[in-house]
């Protein structure tokens, strides 16, 4: 089916980005000075490759940040098994640092170029991907148009379209249709996501489920875990994971509220953004709690009340260490954080009311008794205190959570089943060209 013509808005966007290239270059330089870009790899953000293209077929996968990138790991393995090398791109330093250590030898990482037509063309000229997979909702107009013009199939995988994004796109329906019609297929997490993509003009939409249900749990150094466990000993411990500004102080107040009932309590606070560690430790220490920071070599020994784990990529370690996890971004209006990993690692999960980014999974967990909602700081303190004094209930909640996740598994196989016909078509085209 022929795609609709480009709209005036899309043409104006392309022209405007060309004019804005000097400003974009300046923005990248500013971000590098502030530590938000890797100075040594800044050329990659302008489409300049940091290495040679491998021989043979290449699949390009893009996940903007940590969550999206990690959801692609199973697909990376699947495409390697199908004879592809895999280029994984991200847009943030934290995602690059984390995903780089999880890729197998046949896969490698680069930073994604900004959506400037010259930079995108430079990127595609070098890498010449045979197939492009983009996670969730990363729809950049110049990139979509360039891939379509070159005949490179683009698939949205683990697709997500929030009601807010849908309303935004709906204000420019012809532009949305012109762009989405240039995507080979949109594979979505839920029926609601699929309906929104279809209503905006995506001609080929399929519900495959959420890849994060199938992603492998984070690896851990078991000797390191054993050492940390020996330091913690028999202390009651809970983890406040992926906290956002406003929640750190609440976590500190929860510890203070429980200190008399649980005098040996250990609270481990893992901020969503590790660079906030110094500020968090300073503010918590001002309340009278004894703190230590992991990034500074501190350990959660007996003289530490609240341990600030301000490092990246170690949540798997702390989820295994603690039977109880509160997931942040939920007591403040951020939308919540993904509860799949702690649940699969046998932790009982607590969360606040703001979990609209993960409505499906929290709904299933709450309904099964595999996670418990808390309304506010006081409610969190009561729940933490009650559960840490009741190990049997903790185990029951964790088991219910694992059972609740099982019906959602299988997205990886369903996604690969949709990709396979594209691979078959590539093989047929190659055979026809060779004959």
Residue (of 213, 212, 211, 217) closest to 320 by Cα position? 217
Kindly indicate the confidence band of residue 428, based on its pLDDT and cuts at 50, 70 and 90. Answer: confident
The answer to whether position 60 is within a domain reads: yes
Question: Is the pLDDT reported for residue 3 higher than 90?
Answer: no
So what's the pLDDT on residue 169? 95
Whether residues 395 and 416 fall in one domain: no
Provide the domain count of the chain.
2
Residue 177 annotated to the active site: no
Whether 1 is covered by a domain: the verdict is no
In this structure, are 122 and 234 located in the same domain?
A: no
pLDDT exceeds 90 at position 60 = yes
Q: Are residues 157 and 48 in the same domain?
A: yes
Q: Is residue 283 part of a domain?
A: yes
Same domain, 145 and 173: yes
What's the pTM value of the predicted model, to 2 decimals?
0.86
**Predicted pLDDT at 195:** 97
254 and 199, same structural domain? no
Q: Is the same domain home to 249 and 137?
A: no
- pLDDT tens track for 127-166: 999 999 999 988 999 999 999 999 999 999 999 998 889 9
**Residue 304 reports pLDDT greater than 70:** yes
189 is a domain residue: yes
Walk across the sheet containing 306-308 and list its strands.
291-293, 306-308, 266-271, 237-243, 324-327, 348-351, 371-373
pLDDT tens-digit readout, 235-260: 999 999 999 999 999 999 999 999 99
Q: Give residue 1's pLDDT.
A: 64
Torsion angle, alpha carbons of 89, 134, 139, 127, to 10: 50
- Which residue among 37, 68, 247, 341 is the active-site one? 68
Residue 2 maps to a domain: no
pLDDT at residue 417, rounded to an integer:
97
* Domain ranges, residue 421: 8-28+36-214+410-434
| Mean of pLDDT values over 91-112 | 91
Residues 389 and 428 in one domain: no
Angle separating helix axes 8-33 and 141-149, nearest 10 degrees: 120
211-231 confidence digits (pLDDT tens): 999 988 888 999 999 999 999
Average pLDDT over residues 260-283: 97
Task: Identify the CATH number of the domain in which residue 40 sits.
Answer: 3.40.50.11720
Q: Are residues 158 and 269 in the same domain?
A: no
CATH number, residue 305: 3.40.50.2000
139 & 264 share domain: no
pLDDT confidence of residue 106:
96
pLDDT confidence of residue 246: 97
pLDDT band at 434 (very low <50, low <70, confident <90, very high): confident
């Amino acid at each position: 089916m022929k795609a609709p013509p480009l709209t005036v808005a899309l043409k104006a966007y392309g022209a405007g980005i060309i004019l804005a290239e000097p400003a974009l270059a300046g923005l990248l330089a500013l971000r590098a000075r502030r530590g938000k870009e890797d100075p040594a790899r800044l050329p990659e953000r302008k489409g300049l490759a940091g290495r040679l293209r491998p021989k043979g077929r290449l699949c390009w996968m893009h996940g903007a940040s940590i969550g999206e990138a990690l959801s692609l790991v199973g697909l990376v393995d699947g495409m390697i098994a199908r004879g592809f090398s895999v280029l994984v791109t991200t847009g943030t330093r934290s995602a690059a640092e984390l995903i780089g250590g999880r890729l197998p030898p046949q896969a490698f990482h680069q930073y994604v170029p900004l959506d400037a037509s010259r930079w995108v063309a430079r990127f595609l000229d070098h890498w010449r991907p045979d197939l492009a997979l983009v996670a969730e909702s990363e729809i950049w107009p110049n990139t979509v148009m360039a891939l379509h013009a070159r005949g490179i199939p683009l698939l949205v995988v683990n697709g997500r379209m929030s009601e807010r994004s849908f309303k935004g796109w709906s204000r420019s329906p012809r532009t949305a249709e012109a762009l989405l019609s240039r995507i080979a297929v949109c594979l979505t997490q839920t029926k609601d996501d699929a309906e929104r993509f279809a209503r905006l003009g995506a001609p080929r939409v399929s519900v495959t489920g959420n890849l994060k249900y199938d992603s492998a749990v984070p690896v851990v150094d078991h000797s390191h875990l054993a050492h940390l466990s020996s330091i913690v000993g028999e202390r009651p411990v809970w983890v406040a994971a992926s906290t956002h500004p406003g929640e750190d102080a609440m976590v500190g107040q929860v510890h203070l509220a429980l200190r008399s009932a649980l005098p040996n309590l250990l609270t481990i606070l893992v901020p969503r953004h590790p660079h906030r560690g110094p500020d968090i430790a300073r503010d918590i220490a001002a309340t009278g709690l004894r703190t230590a920071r992991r990034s500074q070599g501190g350990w959660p020994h007996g003289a530490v009340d609240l341990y600030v784990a301000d490092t990246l990529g170690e949540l798997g370690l702390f989820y295994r260490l603690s039977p109880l996890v509160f997931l942040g971004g939920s007591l403040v209006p951020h939308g919540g954080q993904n509860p799949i990993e702690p649940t699969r690692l046998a932790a009982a999960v607590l969360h606040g009311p703001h979990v609209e980014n993960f409505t499906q999974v929290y709904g299933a967990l709450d309904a099964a008794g595999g996670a418990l909602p808390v309304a506010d700081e006081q409610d969190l303190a009561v729940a933490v205190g009650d559960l840490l004094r009741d190990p049997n209930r903790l185990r029951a909640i964790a088991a219910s959570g694992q059972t609740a996740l099982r019906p959602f598994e299988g997205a990886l196989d369903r996604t690969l089943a949709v990709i396979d016909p594209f691979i078959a078509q590539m093989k047929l085209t190659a055979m026809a060209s060779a004959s």
